[in-house]
Chains A and B, each alone.
Chain A
Amino acid sequence: MEKTVREIIKETSRDHIKKNNSLIFGQCLSAVGWVGGTVPELTEKEGLIELSMADVANGGIVAGAGLSNRRPIYVIRYQGFNWFNASIILNYACKSKEIWNVPCPIFIRGIAMEGSIGPVAGSSQHSIYFKMPGIKIISPMTPNEYLIAYKDFMKNDDVMYVSEHRGSYSNTKELNDHLDDNLDLILFPISITRFEAQKAKIELEKEGYKIGIANILWIKPFLIKKEWEKAVIKSKFGGVVLDDDYTDGVASNLAYQLIKRTKKNFEVMGLKDRSAGFSKTTDNLPPSKEEIIKKCKEIIDKKGKL
């Protein structure tokens, strides 16, 4: 039976601790659910370390542990908590190798989710990390992608921010790019938007639109694959970058890089420019299948008529 992303994270974490004498840090790790079933059920003696609720200090404590080269994993149970956690990680752990020639490898698991959980806890917040040097950002949504992230972390000595999403934890399937020639438009989805992008493509194709998908796994460094570039240049209307974060961050930046490379038009979709509330009517959710379809039609139909 195929393994879920959840199972892969749990297995990888357990193996990591055992093989590398490593540590997993986080808050409420051993509470009900073991952070969505991704944290191995271990004791502190075995390397599962419960931190206090002092989020800013915790980022510093994990940075300090990173200096020991035990390659700690840090579980941040809501990505919005990075507003506190990221300060010392970004300003110390990420700069340590460059300034002092002392690597500080940390595998940061930032976990996103959505739905009536208010202005901080919801959605992805990888844009907080994006502008700073010394960090890699990856957003794996499939079992194999998670292993790619982990292997890269072990092969190098960087700080790695892994932008996870609870919506992917049950997934067993790999998500492939779809890049035929002569497409109308290509979607460049990140994180959880990759699943909605797949659904939108199917619906749009039923109506005769030709939609491609280029899955963004690596957010930083963002390497534009040759086949992406080729397909965009050949497309009629360029592309749309889809994100689970606010658009004034990663999405706009990646779109800019794609525009520079391909000289084609790019648009962005992500969270709306407002705060999220605690109810269905006040949520601020990532682009849904319906919203993606609407956007694609707007671009294609409007520009097609010009």
Chain B
Amino acid sequence: MNEKIFRLKTFEKASYCRHFEEEVIKNLKLKNINIPTYVSAGQEFIAASMATICEDLKIKPLIFGQHRCHSIYISFGGDKVKLIDELLGRKTGCTKGMGGSASIASKEINMFGHDGLMGSNGPIGVGACFATNHPTIVFLGDAAAEEDYVLGGLGWASTKNIPLITVVEDNNLSILTEKKVRRNWEMSDVAKSFKMQGYNIDDDPIDLLKYSEIFFKKPCLLNVNTNRIFWHAGAGKDSDDTFDRYEEEKKRLGEDALAIDKKIKEEIKNLWKKQLEK
């Protein structure tokens, strides 16, 4: 795919994620949302890039996300109205109000829910991938990736040579504990030690695109360095200096991105307004 087209397609998905999350933040502050909420703003280019790549490959993967999963859901085409309803705790939500922010699922996009045990989606995704031999993506945080059962699952995935991509969304934080305090190793090296292809990259869409040739052929792991703009849970900010990939891409893509951003901002705003009025 042409680089510019790929960037724009990815930006469009990321824009839906970003503006959705901005409405989430607004409604958290207004207390319209009253549940623990894990906002994915800042990290959206990972899911958006993976979804764009899968579309291009004409693959509809099995998806196993975890708690910070709004961007995964939206990027892969999850119904945004149902996600709004879910966050509002309604029966019409994508998980009938049971999933909240952290445990959302959608049969339409092959997205399975998460149980709340950090990293359990690792081995579960491995098992689903093995039993179906269907392309599968597991999204983990850098802290969840440390769970011993994630590592056990990865080792077995490598042994069985299944079409699995494990994406570690590495925002360097477990709540507020930095990675260097918790460990002196990288997940990409762990993957290599399991004889899988493992890479440590940035969340620039082109960096992800570069590796798409290996996707779903053999198990691989991408540790993608990214930034979480808001708190672990809730609407506050850890810092005002956090690098923002969305703003970077908007600048890079110029007028085209500005038009997309403006159009989607309005669209999402209206979507929320309509649902809140119900």
Q: Is A5 an interface residue (CB 8 A)?
A: no
Q: Is A96 an interface residue (CB 8 A)?
A: yes
CA distance A64 to B112 in the complex (A): 10
In chain B, what residue has the closest Cβ to A96?
B113
Q: Is B153 an interface residue (CB 8 A)?
A: yes
CA distance A24 to B131 in the complex (A): 11
The A contact surface, by secondary structure, is: helix
Contact at B122–A60, with CB atoms within 8 Å?
yes
Bitwise interface map of B from 90 to 105 toward A, beta carbon under 8 Å scored 1, else 0: 0000011011000101
CA distance A62 to B128 in the complex (A): 8
**Chain A residues near B155 (CB, 8 Å)?**
52, 54
In chain A, what residue has the closest Cβ to B103?
A99
Which size bracket describes the interface of A in this complex? 20 to 34
Contact at A56–B128, with CB atoms within 8 Å?
no
In chain A, what residue has the closest Cβ to B129?
A64
**Chain A residues near B107 (CB, 8 Å)?**
101-102
Contact at B99–A60, with CB atoms within 8 Å?
no
Assess A64 versus B125: contact at CB under 8 Å? Given A52-B152, A54-B153, A88-B117.
Answer: yes
Contact at A88–B116, with CB atoms within 8 Å?
no
Nearest Cβ in chain B — how far from A62, in angstroms?
6
Q: Is B6 an interface residue (CB 8 A)?
A: no
Q: Is B32 an interface residue (CB 8 A)?
A: no
Assess A57 versus B130: contact at CB under 8 Å? Given A67-B124, A92-B124, A99-B95.
Answer: no
The B contact surface, by secondary structure, is: helix
**Chain B residues near A8 (CB, 8 Å)?**
none
**Chain B residues near A135 (CB, 8 Å)?**
none
**Chain A residues near B126 (CB, 8 Å)?**
57, 60-61, 64
Assess A91 versus B152: contact at CB under 8 Å? Given A62-B127, A70-B131, A99-B103.
Answer: no
Residues from 69 to 124 in A contacting B, C-beta threshold 8 Å:
70, 72, 87-88, 91-92, 95-96, 98-102
**Chain A residues near B153 (CB, 8 Å)?**
54, 57, 60-61
Give me the interface of B with A, judged by CB distance under 8 Å: 95-96, 98-99, 103, 105, 107, 112-113, 115-117, 120, 122-132, 148-153, 155-156, 159
Q: Supply 16 A–B pairs (Cβ within 8 Å), ascending by A.
A: A51-B156, A54-B152, A57-B123, A57-B151, A57-B152, A57-B156, A59-B123, A61-B126, A63-B123, A64-B123, A67-B128, A68-B131, A88-B120, A88-B124, A88-B149, A102-B105
Give me the interface of A with B, judged by CB distance under 8 Å: 23, 49, 51-52, 54, 56-68, 70, 72, 87-88, 91-92, 95-96, 98-102
Given A57-B150, A101-B96: 6 more A-B contacts, CB < 8 Å: A56-B148, A61-B123, A88-B115, A99-B99, A99-B113, A100-B98
